[in-house]
Structures are given as C-alpha cells and as structure tokens.
Structure 1
Amino acid sequence: MYKIILGCLSIVLILLIVVALFQLNQVNKTRQQVTAVRKEIRAIKKDIEKQEKEQKKAEILQKETKDAEQKEEADTDTKAEESEEPAESVETQEEAQKEAKEPEAGEEQKNQETDANSKVPETGNGKKIAIDPGHQGYNVDMSAQEPMGPGSSEMKAKATTGTQGSFTGVPEYELNLNISKQLREELKNRGYEVMLTREDNDTAISNKERAELATQYGADIYVRIHANGSDDSSVNGAFTMIPSAQNPYVGALHDKSYALGEAVINAYCESCKIKNSGVQIFDNMTGINWSTVPVIILEMGFMSNESDDTNMENPDFQKLMVQGIANGIDAYFAAGN
C-alpha cells in the first residue's frame, strides 16, 4: 500500500516539475520576444530618423537651388539695367577716383579704430573640459577586453551598452549622450572649451581610449556621464564615483577628483532636488584608471526607479540637471583647483 502511495506521489512530483519547466520555458520565450520587439522598435525609430534627416537635407538643397536661381535672375536683370545706363564722362570718373583716394583725416582714423576693434578676439576662461557620454549602442560589439589600468593583468570588456529605463524604455547610452550634448553647450556659454568622447551611439570606442582622448585634448578635468540601475526599484538618487588614494594607477588624482566629485554632486542635487548619495570610491573602473587628470563618474539617477527615470526624460528637468553639473564645475575651479 505504501509503495503504491509513494509511486503515485513520485508521479505527481514529476508532473509538477515538468509543468514548472514548461512554464519557465514559456517565460523565457516571452522575454526573448519582448527583447526582439524592443530591438525592432529601436531599428524602426532609427530608420524614421534617417528618413527625416534625408528629407530635411533634400528640402534644404531644393531651397538653396531655388535661391541660387533667383539670385542669378536678379544679377542678370541688374546687368541689363546697367548696360542701358549712359557711360560717365572720363572727367567725372577721374574726379570720383581722386575723391576716393583722398578720404578725410577724421574718416580715416574712424576706419582704423573700427578695424582694430574687429580684430579683438573673444576669449574664454582658459579651462578645457572632457565629457564622456557613457556606454554606446547595442549594435556595437565591444566585448573584446582591455587592461583595467596601465600595466594591469586584470582585463575588462572595452565598453557596454549600460542599463535601460524601466518606465521610459530609453537606453542609458541615449540619455547619457543627450545630457552630454546639452552640457557641452552650457559649458561653452560659460567660457569653457569642451570636447565629447563620442558624438553618436554607433562609434566603437573603448573606456581606455576615451580617457586617452581626454589626455590628448589637454583637458583640465574629465567628467563621465552615466545613469544607474538596481534590482530594487525603490533605490533612487545620485552620486559621484572617484578613485581612492590607494588606487595603484591614479591614486595621485584622488584629492582633486574628490574635490570635483563633491562640488558636482552637491550642485547637481541642489539643482534637481534629488537624493544626494555623496562621493563614493571605486577602483575597478577602466575609464577612471586610465585618466591622467582629475576624473569623476556622475551617476545621475536610477533608471530602475520610476521617479528618477521619468524625471531624467523630462526636458525641463534635464535643464536642471545640466545647470547643476555646470554649477559644480564652476565651483570646483572657483575654489582654486
């Protein structure tokens, strides 16, 4: 009797396991389908943007062609009118040439002053900022590895695609580039010289190469723009990441990196009214370890948190984000760094 009961229980248990495995397989298939649909949507979006750009270029070209034709017609009419006018006498022409060669002294001085003023260059504040929009598109394979720091035997992937908005669906690499471009314009308006390590989502450039670009540019500071993600959707807020004083590659940059990280995170959180999680130490970041100038990573917010995610896609909130970062950079240099 017991054997029959045990046999029945075994059969039931096996059936339950089979059902569970089947359901798990269905869940995985559903996830794959969702991922595939998202990729198709992004591809369609890129095609639409490409078509819009081509249409815009065609419209501009058509307008330029039309303007050129109108200008040519106007020049032809003008020449025809000039040919109908009577020629000036030789005497009148000589008098006009003489007057042109003998300008009054006051007018000559005024012209000299105007020329001098037009040659005065507009100068900035002399500071150079390198901005790194973190990560890059899904279609760029950067899985190959590179040293985590100069002379390091530890290897890491050259770059990754980053996280994605759980509520907006926006990839982190797109958000990072969007904010970085706005930040560049704001900093240029404040007198800084600025470069971005990437201008699009499709250029293959590693974290090591980005830091080297900042060095080649002669940057005074290196600001890396990122957003965060967590399995816990309640986690929110912003923080900056810097190397420790014991970092074997860039330990000498700790003090100034800390000053930069503190100035930026305080100004950023004050501007955005977002939770301030302070300055945090990370020694395993390739883009930090290859830097030769004070360097920070700004984690602007959590894309896994509904409030942070939706705010970071709001154009008005983005203006506050950019203002806060720029204010922090101003504060860093104002302190004599």
Structure 2
Amino acid sequence: MIKNLKKFNSIILVILLFATFSLSNFNVQAKQRVIVIDPGCQAIENNDKESIGPGTWKWVSEDMVGAKGVTTGTNEYDMNLSVALKVKELLGDEYKVELTRSTNDVNMSNSDRAMIANTLKADLYISIHASGPEDDSSGVKVICQTKDNPYSMTNYRNSRLLADTLLGSITEKAAPKKYEVAESDKLLGINWCTVPNAVVIIGNLKNQEDDEKLADSEYLLKIAEGIVSGIDSYYSQK
C-alpha cells in the first residue's frame, strides 16, 4: 500500500512539474514584444538644453517643433504623429505598441522620450521625423548609433540591423529616389536609449520635392507599411 502510494505521489509530482514547465514555456512564448514609437517633435517649443548623453557635461538644445512644409505649410509634428499612428494601427495585436505621445500639445525632451522605452524595457525604439539636418537634403534616411558610441556600447549590432531592415523595407514599399543608412553619435534620442533603436527620417519638409511627396496620403501609407515590414524583417533575421 505504502509502495503504491509513493509511486502515485511520484507520478503526481512529475505531472505537476511538467505542467509548471509547460505553463512557463507558454508564458514566455505568449509574451508580446514591446515596440515604442516616437513621433518626433511637438507643438510646444522647448529650448532647454539637455545633456547629449548619460555621463557627459556637453549640453545642447534642439528644435522640438521641427520643420514646416516649404510649399504645403505642413507642420512636422503633425506629419510625424500621423505616420506613427498609422504604424501602430498596422502593427495590430502582434506587438504591444506604445507611443511616446498621442497629441501635439506635449512638452518632452529627447531624453524623456528615450527614457519611456528604457522604463518599459522595450524591445525596440523607433523615432520618426520629417526633416533633414540640411535644408536641401532629401529622401529617406535611417540613422543608428556608431559601433563606438560612448553612451551605449551594447546596442550597435541590433540597432544597425534594425536600421538596415527598416530602410530595405521602406525603399521596397515606397521607392524613394534617395535613401541611405547613416550612423551618428550626435542624436540625443539614440544616446539616451538603452534598447535597440533607430531614427527614421521619412523625408525633408524643407525640400520642395519631398514636401509635395509627403503630402500624398498613399505615399505616407507605403512609408508606414515599410516601417512595419522592417520590424517584422528585423525579427526574422535576428
């Protein structure tokens, strides 16, 4: 009797251990990846200087309102938010998507935005912009950190992969005339971010040709589809 009871208890223990392992494995597989999308700029100007990266005394200020369409008069903060909302919609339920802002009337620094991704321990952080560093620049550019970025030395491989997959997918969907991946250690959003990240410049509102192209809702949809496809491609290659 005792022997049979011990055997029965052993079987129950094995079943419980198997059930616990299976449930744990299911929870790991079921956990959604967290994607933070940052619609760059805002309607409220903020000229306060902020550190270019953690642990440095180099302070800079950036134009938080952004560009205005040279022909259309479109505000960059409107453009960025429009594309970000479309990206969130297209990503659907496959990912858990968080926006750094859902309205234009916010007052956030670049480091504030990156810290949202850090706090959430996001899987990816993507910042969307519609202006170039030079007034005459044009086309799509995806920027990530350099390999020797002094503020985040562990993110380069995944950030570069993300930049490459985003650009590849955007060019496939939207076919911009000019496109490139660039690396930089001068962008605060990149330097303050502790998760894989990239800045997507979908065009330059200061450039007449880009401004007119970005006014086309079908083109913007293709850009958004490209960003979504780029995220999927990132995970298929990772």
Which TM-score bucket, shorter chain as reference?
Answer: 0.7 to 0.9
1:149 matches 2:45: no
Map Cα deviations across residues 271-325 of structure 1 (whole Å, 9 max, x no partner).
Answer: 0010343210110111110001011000101213333212212221121111111
Aligned mates of 2:62, 2:205 — CA distance in 1: 23
For residues 238-277 of structure 1, what are the structure 2 equivalents within 5 Å?
238-277=140-179
How far the C-alpha of 1:158 sits from its partner, in A, is: 6.2
- From the superposition, tell whether residues 153 and 266 of structure 1 become closer, same or farther in structure 2 (CA, over 3 Å): same
Of Structure 1 and Structure 2, which has the larger fraction of its residues in helix? 1
Question: Partner residue of 2:119?
Answer: 216
CA–CA distance in 2 between the matches of 1:231 and 1:331?
Answer: 32
Separation (CA, whole Å) in 1 of partners of 2:113 and 2:194:
12
CA distance in 2, matches of 1:125, 1:327: 20
Structure 2: which 5+ residue stretches go unaligned?
A: 1-28
Structure 1 Cα separation of the partners of residues 158 and 42 of structure 2:
28
Q: Name the structure 1 match of 2:66.
A: 162
CA change 1:124–1:225 in 2 (3 A) is farther
Aligned to 1:199: 102
Match of 2:40 among 109, 134, 140: 134
Pick closer, same or farther for the CA change 1:264–1:208 going to 2, 3 Å: same
Q: Secondary structure at the match of 1:216?
A: helix
**For residues 197 and 319 of structure 1, what CA distance do their matches in structure 2 show?**
20
**1:237-289 superposed Cα distances (whole Å, 9 cap, x missing partner):** 11111111111101321111100000001100110010343210110111110
Distance 1:145 1:302 in 2: 24
Question: Which residue is 1:305 aligned to?
Answer: 207
Task: Look up the equivalent residue of 1:146 and give its one-letter code.
Answer: E
User: 1:236 Cα shift?
Assistant: 2.4
How many aligned positions are there?
209
Which position in structure 1 is the counterpart of 2:10? none
Q: TM-score scaled to structure 2, two decimals?
A: 0.83
The partner residue of 1:175 within 79, 84, 96 is: 79
- Tell me, what secondary structure is at the counterpart of 2:203? strand
Which residue of structure 1 lines up, in the alignment, with residue 180 of structure 2?
278
1:314 aligns with 2:216: yes
TM-score by length of 1: 0.59
Alignment-mate amino acid for residue 156 of structure 1: V
After superposition, what is the alpha-carbon deviation per residue over 1:130-187, rounded to whole angstroms, capped at 9, x for unaligned? 01111111xx231111111111100122652111111111011110011001111111
Distance 1:253 1:313, change over 3 A: same
Asked whether the equivalents of residues 142 and 159 of structure 1 are also in contact (C-alpha less than 8 Å), the reply is yes
| Higher relative contact order, chain-length normalized (CA < 8 Å, sep 6+) | 2
Structure 2 CA distance for aligned equivalents of residues 321 and 281 of structure 1: 21
Partner SS, residue 270 of structure 1:
helix
Could you say which structure has the larger radius of gyration? Answer: 1
User: 1:228 matched to which residue of 2?
Assistant: 131
Q: 1:275 to 1:125 in 2, by over 3 A?
A: farther
1:56-108: CA deviation from partner (whole Å, max 9, x where unpaired) = xxxxxxxxxxxxxxxxxxxxxxxxxxxxxxxxxxxxxxxxxxxxxxxxxxxxx
How far apart are residue 125 of structure 1 and its match? 6.8
CA distance in 2, matches of 1:174, 1:288: 22
The CA distance in 2 between the partners of 1:133 and 1:174, in whole Å, is 9
- The alignment's C-alpha RMSD in Å is 1.7
**Is the Cα contact below 8 Å between 1:130 and 1:221 reproduced in 2?**
yes
Aligned-pair identity (%) = 33
